[in-house]
């Protein structure tokens, strides 16, 4: 198994794949939405602080464990833990992470299905086919399941092609397209009437809100979700990383690009809302800005359709952007259970993809049918509770189960001078004590609230 294990072919390949995992609906939808409902720029400031101060060290924990063990999260945690009850706990933690990754993929596929629906609606409108355009733009159970099915198929096909030919190749193609599209759209929106009011809300902080507990909790959840932490995604990507790569630098690059894309998405979405307002579209529900699914799937489509032909083209570009962002993330989620199956059973990669991808899609169908009862619950259980808790666990595994020598050896590989670096002076202590306590404190506060 070890000899044939796939690797990313280059640093750029890994960077694009890991950044592709990080940059997703969380950046283009979650970040602007959270910003809108948490007082604008105050949220942005706290988010950046947490992304670099808390999420980056946790990301490093996953990358180090992944490359050290070269295995899926279940086997990896067991491998580093001495036999006994600790090892059982390690295995259970790994399995729990894999379940959470699968559950995230279930609701992610549902939302990505909406994206596909709006994308197809715009494409049919451009082609002059008003019937199908209408069908895809109006929500229905059939439409949602059909479009989630298309997205699911895309995810399965990419992952079944393997790490190098599937995940790396597609991320390398799609991520640059995503960057170009988001820059072009942002530039377009910023020149529309009304955009400046949105920009002001986004960039001028209301410092009185900065210590609100809800803001802190949302910012932490957003940072963990955005960097795909806790569920073994970054761990498995780290396990495909070459031995001569510099982990701290690579992790920092992923964090920076992820934060930049979130920031860029905010520059696009918040001004777009105020452009919509300028056109007479209501963007407030009560006192607050409209957030959640309505922002992306109600306010923005109304804005696009009030902009005439240009609006249809902008809609097509915008939903293509979202679809690309979603796909480069969903493939990283499916890789988590697939890696376990491929490494632990005789099943082939493509068999595992179809089987696991199929079961997850059934979960998506259930979520679609029982939307009111299940959707919010699954999102909260996975992203707000499980991801931070698993984040704590992974920091503890890296900080306490692996010893300093093992950590240093792993980081030195690809970074020979690591011992004298600022990173090495801070991170081992940080990941042992600071990260777990800070995450726990924020988490406990969110449960008490
Ligand atoms: N980071 C992705 C986003 O921001 O949309 C979401 C995500 C991907 C979460 C992969 C978890 C995961 F394993």
- Give 265-277 as a DSSP string: HHHHHHHHHHHHH
Separation of CA 152 and ligand 1 centre (Å): 15
Neighbours of 413 (CB within 10 A): 17
The answer to whether 129 touches 302, Cβ cutoff 8 Å, is no
* CA-wise closest residue to 73 among 82, 58, 83, 63: 63
User: Ligand 1: does its nearest atom lie under 6 Å from the Cβ of 111?
Assistant: no
- Cα separation of 293 and 339, whole Å? 32
pLDDT for position 288: 82
Ligand 1 atom closest to 29 (CA): 5
Q: Are strands 284-285 and 288-289 parallel, antiparallel or unpaired?
A: antiparallel
Tell me the pLDDT of the chain averaged across its residues: 93
Token pair belonging to 2: 């070890």
* CA-wise closest residue to 442 among 50, 14, 32, 39: 50
User: Ligand 1: does its nearest atom lie under 6 Å from the Cβ of 22?
Assistant: yes
- Cα separation of 245 and 437, whole Å? 30
pLDDT for position 2: 42
Ligand 1 atom closest to 233 (CA): 13
> Would you say the C-alpha torsion 265, 238, 72, 48 has a positive or negative sign?
negative
Give the E-state strand segments of 282-418 in sequence order: 284-285, 288-289
SS3 category, 38 = coil
Pocket mutation for ligand 1, best pick of 100, 221, 225 (most atoms within 8 Å of C-beta): 225
Neighbours of 316 (CB within 10 A): 19
Separation of CA 206 and ligand 1 centre (Å): 29
Separation of CA 31 and ligand 1 centre (Å): 12
pLDDT for position 5: 83
Ligand 1 atom closest to 332 (CA): 10
What would the DSSP string read from start to end of 360-414? HHHHHHHHHHTHHHHHHHHHIIIIIIIHHHHHHHHHHIIIIIS-HHHHHHHHHTT
| Residues spanned by the domain of 276 | 2-448
Give the E-state strand segments of 266-377 in sequence order: 284-285, 288-289
Domain count, the chain: 1
Instruction: Check which CATH number belongs to the domain holding 172 and give it.
Output: 1.10.4160
Separation of CA 194 and ligand 1 centre (Å): 32
User: Ligand 1: does its nearest atom lie under 6 Å from the Cβ of 407?
Assistant: no
How far from 35 is each of 9, 26, 210, 428, CA to CA, in Å? 37, 12, 12, 32
Which residues in the chain come in under a pLDDT of 50? 1-3
Please report how the helices 141-160 and 85-126 are oriented relative to each other, as an axis angle in degrees rounded to 10. 120
pLDDT for position 348: 97
Q: pTM of the full predicted structure?
A: 0.94
């Amino acid at each position: 198994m070890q000899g044939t294990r796939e690797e990313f072919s280059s640093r750029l390949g890994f960077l694009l794949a890991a950044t592709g995992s990080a940059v997703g609906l969380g950046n283009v939808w979650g970040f602007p939405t959270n910003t809108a409902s948490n007082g604008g720029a105050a949220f942005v400031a706290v988010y950046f602080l947490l992304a670099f101060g808390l999420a980056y060290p946790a990301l490093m924990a996953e990358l180090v464990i992944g490359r050290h063990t070269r295995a899926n999260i279940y086997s990896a945690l067991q491998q580093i833990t001495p036999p006994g009850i600790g090892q059982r706990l390690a295995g259970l933690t790994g399995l729990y992470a894999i379940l959470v990754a699968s559950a995230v993929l279930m609701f992610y596929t549902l939302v990505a299905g909406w994206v596909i629906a709006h994308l197809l609606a715009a494409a049919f409108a451009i082609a002059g086919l008003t019937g199908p355009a209408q069908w895809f733009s109006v929500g229905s159970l059939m439409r949602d399941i059909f479009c989630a099915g298309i997205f699911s198929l895309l995810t399965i096909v990419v992952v079944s092609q393997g790490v190098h030919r599937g995940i790396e190749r597609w991320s390398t193609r799609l991520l640059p397209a995503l960057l170009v599209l988001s820059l072009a759209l942002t530039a377009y929106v910023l020149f529309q009437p009304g955009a400046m009011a949105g920009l002001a809300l986004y960039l001028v902080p209301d410092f009185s809100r900065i210590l609100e507990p809800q803001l802190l909790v949302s910012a932490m959840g957003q940072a963990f979700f955005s960097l795909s932490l806790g569920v073994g995604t970054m761990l498995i990507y780290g396990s495909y990383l070459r031995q001569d790569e510099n982990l701290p630098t690579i992790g920092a690059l992923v964090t920076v690009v992820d934060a930049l894309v979130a920031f860029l998405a905010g520059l696009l979405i918040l001004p777009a809302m105020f452009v919509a307002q300028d056109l007479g579209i209501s963007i407030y529900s009560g006192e607050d800005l409209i957030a959640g699914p309505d922002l992306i799937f109600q306010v923005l489509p109304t804005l696009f359709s009030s902009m005439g032909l240009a609006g249809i083209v902008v809609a097509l570009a915008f939903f293509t952007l979202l679809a690309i962002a979603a796909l480069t993330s969903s493939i990283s989620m499916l890789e988590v259970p697939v890696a376990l199956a491929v490494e632990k059973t005789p099943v082939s990669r493509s068999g595992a993809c179809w089987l696991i991808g199929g079961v997850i899609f059934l979960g998506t169908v259930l979520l679609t049918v029982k939307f009111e009862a299940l959707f919010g619950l699954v999102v909260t259980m996975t992203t707000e509770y499980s991801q931070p808790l698993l984040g704590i666990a992974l920091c503890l595994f890296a900080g306490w189960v692996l010893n300093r020598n093992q950590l240093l050896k792993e980081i030195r590989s690809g970074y020979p001078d690591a011992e004298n670096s600022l990173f090495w002076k801070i991170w081992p202590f940080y990941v042992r004590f600071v990260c777990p306590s800070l995450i726990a404190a924020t988490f406990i506060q969110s449960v008490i609230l």
